[in-house]
Amino acid sequence: MTDDTSHRPGPVDLSRALASFDSLWSPRIVARVNDYDVRVAKVRGDHVWHVHEDTDEFFLVLDGELLIALREPDGERTVRLPAGTAFTVPRGVEHRPSAPDGARLLLLEPSGTSSVGDRREETPAHVDATTGHPLVL
């Protein structure tokens, strides 16, 4: 029996949610808060340089380590996020998440936000260009 928890109220076990899929850079929607999706994702390697013109992007590292390279007006920098840390990429800032050794993330974005932003480099085959997939347990 499948259990689509993305539209049913109740607790969501994030460990179980993350165990329900293997795809990398392919977020699953675990809940909705007002007009926002709460997504979980497994990641490894590099994402793509991209920009969300009209929204911030919130990252919480559940496990592993995430690096987020940022292209800001005063130059490039990389933010290191070990497990248990959070960071918000401001709208309009070009960024590229990466996780050389893999990580598990919780993301918060307005529903319908593309995982590869509004403006991006060519999307590599290992990155899923999606607005999030329903979680099916």
With respect to residue 110, please indicate whether it lies within any of the assigned structural domains: yes
Is residue 5 in some structural domain? no
pLDDT exceeds cutoff 70 at 79: yes
Residue 6 lies in a domain: no
| C-alpha span between 10 and 23 (Å, rounded) | 25
Identify whether the C-beta of residue 126 lies closer than 8 Å to the C-beta of residue 54: no
pLDDT in tens, 12-32: 999 999 999 999 999 999 999
Q: Which residue has the higher pLDDT, 116 or 91?
A: 91
pLDDT of 73 strictly over 70: yes
pLDDT grade, residue 2 (50/70/90)? very low
Q: What is the pLDDT of residues 103-115, one digit of tens each?
A: 999 999 999 999 9
Spatial separation of the C-alpha atoms in residues 85 and 37, rounded to whole Å: 19
Binned at pLDDT 50, 70 and 90, residue 5 comes out as: very low
* Angstrom distances, CA of residue 3 to CA of 16, 58, 104, 112, 134: 12, 26, 22, 22, 10
| CATH code for position 73 | 2.60.120.10
In-domain check, residue 68: yes
Please report whether residue 21 resides in a domain: yes
Question: Distance between terminal CA atoms of the chain?
Answer: 8
In a domain, 42, yes or no: yes
Q: Measured between alpha carbons, how far is residue 116 from residues 1, 32, 82, 132 in Å?
A: 32, 20, 22, 11
> What domain range includes position 128?
14-134
Residue 1 falls inside a structural domain: no
DSSP code of 9?
-
Q: What pLDDT was estimated at residue 96?
A: 97
Pairing outcome for strands 36-46 and 28-33: antiparallel
